Structure 1
Amino acid sequence: MGNVTSNMAAKFAFLPPSPATYGVSKDEETGKLMFTGVTPEKSMDVHQITTKSGNKVIATFWKHPFARFTLLYSHGNAADLGQMVELFIELRAHLRVNIMSYDYSGYGASTGKPTETNTYHDIEAVYNCLRTEYDLKQEDLILYGQSVGSGPTLYLASRLKRLRGAVLHSAILSGIRVLYPVKITFWFDIFKNIDRIRHVTCPVLVIHGAKDEIVNMSHGKRLYELAKDKYDPLWVKGGGHCNLETYPEYIKHLRKYINAMEKLALNNPTTKQQDDDEPNVNETKHNRCLRFRKK
């Protein structure tokens, strides 16, 4: 029974667009990877990163010249990077942040198969790329998880103790809890966010639509209740599961959160010792958005 339910939750959790909405090629002159349909003046780097699972995932880094923070964005389960381009351009401009995003294994031009474990390996590899390629510190990183992307987001956030912040957008309590109103966590559940949120030490912003028919707002409210360091949540009146970005209060509230994190950074500057102690997560043990199908 457990395996059947777990497999069903996993099946509904991953719906990669087929075919992929973009392609990746190599520039003959520079040898750099290029993202189909995005011109160089967009200030976007393309990476192909090998994970612990041996998969090669595609990641894009959108640079802002005056960015204080970098957003590591984990998208929903029915999207790939090609569908996220316009959103990333808007977020970069309005929030004045760099944005690193990636396609899970089996999505877009990333190799492998989409599984819960692979998403964890994916985000670990992308985080390490940020550290090595861009010299990024935890204190300058904000994790952002949309829908099923809240799974890898909270997985990593629970491990990084000096992380600047985390945003949970239409997040889930767990995979099975989207399908059934269970009160306990079963061993065969996937994306056990309800347990991991308790280990996150950075300020957490929860955003959820009041009319979300895919992931009930009760998921967002419970995650907010369980967060140790709560930031003012945003409950979007009339908002559904896939349209929160269209509401003006969405970007306004995100900007307010980013400003608050900047003030926090000024009051708690990074020390040299903290820089030297920066861990490598690989050394530890192991839109568009979510569309769970209900009966």
Structure 2
Amino acid sequence: MLDLLIWLVSWVSAVVCSFCCGSGTASFLCGNELRRCRATEDSQVILRDVEEGVEANEEKLPTADEPHLEDTMGGEEKIARAKGRELVRRYSISLWKRIAVRALFYFLLSYILAAIIVALVVLVAYTPFPSVGSSDCKPSCASNDAYCCTYLTPDVPKQDVYITMDDGTSVHGWWIPSYNESNTTLLYNHGSGGNIASNYRLQRYRFLRNLGLNLFVYDYPGYGKSSGASSEASVMKAGEAALDWVLRSKGRMPSELFCLGRSMGSAVAVDLAAKMARAQTPFRGLILESAFTSYKDAASINLPVLGWIVHLVWAPNMNSLSLISRTRSCLFEYHSKVDEWVPYAQGEKLFSTSDSPASCKEWVSDDKARHDDPMPQAEQKAMREWISKTRLQ
């Protein structure tokens, strides 16, 4: 919608500016041409023809008894008349050429100004990491308030974990044990909004825990109770620190691990999966929800005409497309066809590019759920069956 508005304003500005300058252009053009006329020996005849309306004379048709107007003219007058016609024709063509060039110029000028405005908005007014701190959370949340966050979750047993990264940043997370003391663990990398205590994420934790999975969920720097500030580098390093904690502190083997990434977290999950595969220790399974090919691609979807400016000024890249073919993990991917933030086609492209074995590679979609809607029943059913099957491989 914003892109269409920019396009419309650019064209309206171009048309208005070009026609506002039209009269001045015409005066300038005609003035030059008339001065050229006066410099010729036939200038008086040409000017008389133009001023008296050559076009009107041309439209006058002779009757059967009347000779044609040009038949009554002498040779010099015919030449002068022809020059007058040519002069009028040149006035018309040159004037519209000038107006067309001006319209194009003002359109390009409007487009460039719109691009500058969009760039400033992207740089100043919009953050790629809209974190929610712990101070923004409440003692309790209504079940239908998806974006409310609370750390009081009596129905989700958890242990607070604090991981100190190399730069001193503290990453806060929850260890949520499975209901049946399973060794199979899932590392949960959440999206760009909210924090680990957001209400709509608690529903997912309950579902995954009931599948017999231990969960480790954590917040990126600047989110929730984690210190520091978010950037592409700090988010990726937090993911590495979380994975290292699960492997070392809980003694889990990579073959016992599932790695889930949702939205922005999908880039973290794909990056971790590629690194584990490079170390010859791939995950048991990789789960992607609403995944993008790159953060820049996802950020520019609402500006198809000005999307290039987003690619120039947008800081995070998080290019999953370049890594998905090097994960060597079983893959489960879900994407809604009506996702308003990440295009369905980007998820499809990731899935088709991945190198996951065909025997444990599954794609699930629907055409109802929006980006932040509760977990659809179709996804729950398919994921339950896929995890059960993948555990046995």
TM-score normalised by L of structure 1:
0.76
Aligned mates of 1:147, 1:10 — CA distance in 2: 21
- Secondary structure in 2 matching 1:145: strand
Q: For the residues of structure 1 that align with 2:163 and 2:138, how far apart are their CA atoms? A: 17
**Cα offsets for 1:181-228 (capped at 9, x unmatched):** 679x98965111111112111011111011011111011100001111
Q: Which residue of 2 aligns with 1:32?
A: none
Work out whether 1:240 is the aligned partner of 2:370. Answer: yes
Matches of residues 215-294 of structure 1 in structure 2 within 5 Å? 215-229=342-356, 231-243=361-373, 245=375, 247-264=376-393
Mapped to 1, the partners of 2:296 and 2:124 lie a distance apart of: 6
Q: Distance in 1 between matches of 2:352 and 2:288?
A: 13
Provide the C-alpha distance between the structure 2 equivalents of 1:9 and 1:131, rounded to a whole number of angstroms: 39
Letter in 2 for 1:174: S
The reply to whether residue 71 of structure 1 matches residue 192 of structure 2 is no
Instruction: Report percent identity of matched pairs.
Output: 22
Q: Which has the higher helix share?
A: 2
For residue 207 of structure 1, what is the amino acid of its counterpart? Y
> Deviations 1:270-293 (Å, cap 9, x if unpaired)?
xxxxxxxxxxxxxxxxxxxxxxxx
**Mapping of residues 1-295 of structure 1, within 5 Å:** 8=123, 11-18=126-133, 19-21=135-137, 36-39=151-154, 42-64=156-178, 65-83=180-198, 84-93=201-210, 95-161=211-277, 162-180=282-300, 190-229=317-356, 231-243=361-373, 245=375, 247-264=376-393
Q: How far off is 1:236 after superposition?
A: 1.6
Alignment CA distance shift 1:8-1:224 (3 Å): farther
**Contact 1:72/1:99 (<8 A) preserved:** yes
- Displacement after TM superposition at 1:90 (Å): 2.6
Q: Quick check: 2:128–2:316 contact (8 Å CA) kept in 1?
A: no
| CA offset digits 1:227-275 (Å, max 9, x no partner) | 1115120112222211150x211111111110121121xxxxxxxxxxx
Q: Secondary structure at the match of 1:232?
A: strand
Residues 207, 36 of structure 1: alpha-carbon distance in 2 compared, 3 angstrom cutoff: closer
| Partner amino acid, structure 2, of 1:263 | L
What is aligned with 2:36? Answer: none
Measured after TM superposition, the shift of residue 10 of structure 1 is 11
Structure 1, unaligned runs of 5 or more: 24-34, 265-295
The amino acid of 1:114's aligned partner reads S
Q: Distance between the aligned counterparts of 1:89 and 1:188, measured in 2?
A: 34
Letter in structure 2 aligned against 1:105: P
Contact 1:63 1:99 in 2 (8 A): yes
- Quick one: distance in 2 between partners of 1:9 and 1:144? 31
Task: Provide the aligned C-alpha RMSD in A.
Answer: 2.7
* Paired position in structure 2 for 1:275: none
What SS is found at the alignment partner of 1:77? coil
Inter-partner Cα distance in structure 2 for 1:58 and 1:206: 27
Shift of the 123–9 alpha-carbon distance from structure 1 to 2, 3 Å rule, reads: farther
The structure that has the greater radius of gyration is 2
Give the conservation status (yes or no) of the 8 Å contact 1:198–1:228.
yes
Structure 1, 14-23 or 225-234: larger mean CA deviation? 14-23
Q: Post-superposition shift, 1:120?
A: 1.2
**If each structure's strand is expressed as a fraction of its own residues, which one has the higher value?**
1
Contact kept? 1:244, 1:250, Cα under 8 Å: no
> What SS class does the counterpart of residue 158 from structure 1 fall into?
helix
Task: List gaps (5 residues or longer) in structure 2.
Answer: 1-114, 140-149
What is the one-letter code of the residue matched to 2:325?
Answer: R
Higher relative contact order (CA 8 A, sep 6+): 1
> What is the number of equivalent residue pairs in this alignment?
246
Q: 1:133 to 1:9 in 2, by over 3 A?
A: farther
Who is 2:14 aligned against? none
* Structure 1 counterpart of 2:322, one-letter code: D
